[in-house]
Structure 1
């Protein structure tokens, strides 16, 4: 599937949710479950979860290879920073457009069948991109259009996938499963770009796009087998409009959730500058090739993997607002320092630290969102989270690309870093009375 949901929406256990609920518009709450320490590998004892986890790791790797290849190909075809940044825009515009619809659909469809066809569609899009590059009919515009098409599949997969995954393990294993999902995604974020960076100049982008298309095979097999079991789907009695309005009213009726959404929009608007401008930074500031771009992309993923080993200890000592503010300070300083440096010896550890901060930022915001509502409306309220997140990404990728074209990529990175630091300051001052 190549889903970034493990990076952007982590499923939390029902036992935690009851303690942090806002207004839920009359939705009944589940009773709290007893807490106990669950080994990280325990969810893998469930065959279906294990098979999906393994297949999803392969698909995530393919997605990261394509993410790398698309950005570097567009950077090679166009000298404009704003055009290159549109790769991120094309990725997240579909989520912005379709997230709310996808959340309602996710609560009403037969999920294995739905996920099968969504992944098949994305595989065909990746295959089409490979064919276009192979035949020489490639330019920035077709790459962006097909990236947009793949993003549509991602938009519809995310809510359904999240809702399905939490039902494949025991309730007290959900947090461990979320950690495993996040680990899978971040390991792929290390290997995929690094592998793409080495192979781009050797076998070309068409082979990398084909590799992504083939990476969906495992997930298609797992979802097909699950679909053929004809598992019953819960009956939905509400009309589409009623389900949609229920999700919107529930989300925006909760003051705490509105604060979370404001933070999400402002944080992702600023932080997308790194992913949007890194290809241009490597090309125009470092004057290096695709392998360097892949290495620096991988460093961010490596930092996120490292963070998994110490974030639980940090969270045991510091509240969510403190963790988020500290992470934003580190990430903001990374962007500002990047704008001043050309040394790989400095950039590699710097981006590793940024990756750790990024993991803390994303997981803290997502956990806060997950813990706001019970399972009955979770897919719909999370779709609103995704809508706001993607809106921040889209606006930020366009804005920072324009800033880089006008003032230079260094100035754009420095300004983005300053905005991230400002977010941290606002968070500290504004959340004293209203913590996450």
Structure 2
């Protein structure tokens, strides 16, 4: 934060992500009010996050070959317009679950392009020695927003409904987009390389590079499987809140804020490390602890204990996410960074979406508790696999050449 451009970058990120979390709380609650179905709540999360499966690899290749500032501005503008459309339809009373799904798909596509372009700017804002701390600060900012957004949106939704919360997201993205031209980014990190092949060929090259890298490939695979099994819980919170704990919108906001607080505290700890050594081990072990927290969350009907488990769950998710992103961003070649970060973006968006859809569907048949316990148990087995291989991964991730 001693660098001017980094302060602008993270302030804009905090603004945008606070609006995003307000939006997510609002649309989750809107979907629940429209349908009273955990399946449709999961489907809304799926439509927001799943476009990353198709578009993130392409977006990474685009970010590696064009002006990343302009690409970010266009993508963020679309996100703001999408939120405005939802707000107008809801305010006029003509919103339906179908139209909500369509708008969330549009937002998901735009976010798939914004993520790699914006994150690839970060090495141009701070010296290389500060990059691990900058990556941690980036995730930390996201988790501060995860606390602030629900804390603001919960009472707002309870008193005035979902429209004001969604409009705040519109305003947040306008501010974030307007801030981009104010930054002085190292030119080497603004413009991607000149096209070396077709967009499809460069997209395939990026996937092949990450898959064949002895450290990046395995850690992204580990993160993806873990996200499918565990992150879906966070994407379909309304059914948990109402069915297991008999809480309303205020309870949803409290639980989401607790997850954010846990993530914030954990993020501060990771940021304070400022080194790569031991990061692979931390990334793997955090998933095992997160699985135990998910089990504790659904094993009780006492809401205060569930909130505590939620905070610990958020802490582990933050530790894992910051660690994996730091490792991938540090180990990737500069010319491949956009595509590598796009694959990370795919994991953080598409994998939770799939997990949310499975949990929401299974929750309609078996209730929310049993599917969550099964998924968390599977995550413990994945952690065991990671523990047996993490030393080999670390050799290629923590000592990049």
What's the TM-score, normalizing by structure 1?
Answer: 0.83
- Which of 423, 427, 430 is the aligned partner of 2:382? 423
Equivalent residues, number = 391
Contact 1:197/1:291, CA 8 A, preserved across alignment: yes
Displacement of 1:357 in angstroms is 1.0
Match of 2:90 among 112, 133, 138: 133
| Aligned equivalent of 2:175, options 191, 210, 218 | 218
- C-alpha distance after superposition, 1:17-70 (max 9, x if no partner): xxxxxxxxxxxxxxxxxxxxxxxx323xx2x33223222211111100001111
Residues 325, 390 of structure 1: CA spacing in aligned structure 2 closer, same or farther, 3 A cutoff?
Answer: same
Q: Give the aligned partner of residue 139 of structure 2.
A: 182
Q: Which residue matches 1:236?
A: 194
Q: Give the structure 2 partner of residue 354 of structure 1.
A: 313
Structure number, greater radius of gyration? 1
Distance 1:115 1:185, change over 3 A: same
Deviation at 1:316, TM superposition (A): 7.4
Unaligned runs of 5+ in 2: none
Separation of aligned partners in 1, 2:123 and 2:392: 33
Q: Deviations over 1:271-330 (max 9, x none)?
A: 123113321011111111101101101111100111133336789798344323432222
> What is the SS of the residue equivalent to 2:56?
helix
Query: Which residue of the partner structure matches residue 281 of structure 1?
Result: 240
Name 1:8's counterpart in structure 2.
none
Deviations 1:173-219 (A, max 9, x none): 32333233222211111111121111102111111111111111222
Q: Is the 8 A contact 2:48 2:108 kept in 1?
A: yes
Mapping of 1:333-348 within 5 angstroms?
A: 333-348=292-307
* Bigger helix fraction: 2
2:123 corresponds to which of 155, 162, 166: 166
Structure-2 residue corresponding to 1:42? 2
C-alpha distance in 1, partners of 2:81/2:376? 38
Against the structure 1 CA distance between its residues 427 and 315, is the aligned structure 2 distance closer, same or farther, given a 3 Å change threshold?
Answer: farther
Q: Does 1:303 align with 2:303?
A: no
Q: Deviations over 1:104-125 (max 9, x none)?
A: 1112222222222211111111
> How far 1:380 sits from its partner (Å)?
1.4
Partner of 2:57: 100
Q: For the residues of structure 1 that align with 2:332 and 2:71, how far apart are their CA atoms?
A: 24
Cα pair 1:273 1:416 within 8 Å, conserved: no
- Among 251, 273, 298, the alignment partner of 1:292 is 251
Structure 1 residues 171 and 312, CA gap change in structure 2 (3 angstroms): closer
Match for 1:124 among 81, 100, 103?
81
Change in 2 beyond 3 A, CA 1:380/1:433: closer
Contact 1:321–1:427 (8 Å) recurs in 2: no
Q: Cα offset for 1:432?
A: 5.5
- Distance (whole Å) between structure 2 residues aligned to residue 393 and residue 348 of structure 1: 20
- Secondary structure, aligned partner of 1:261: helix
With over 3 angstroms needed to count, the CA separation of the structure-2 counterparts of 1:389 and 1:316, relative to structure 1, is closer
CA RMSD of aligned residues (A): 2.5
Displacement, 1:150? 0.9
Structure 1 residue 203 corresponds to structure 2 residue 160 = yes
In the alignment, the residues of structure 1 paired with residue 392 and residue 132 of structure 2 have an alpha-carbon distance, to the nearest angstrom, of 28
Spell out, residue by residue over 1:76-134, the C-alpha distance to the aligned partner (whole angstroms, 9 max, x if none).
Answer: 22122121111221121111110111011112222222222211111111111100000
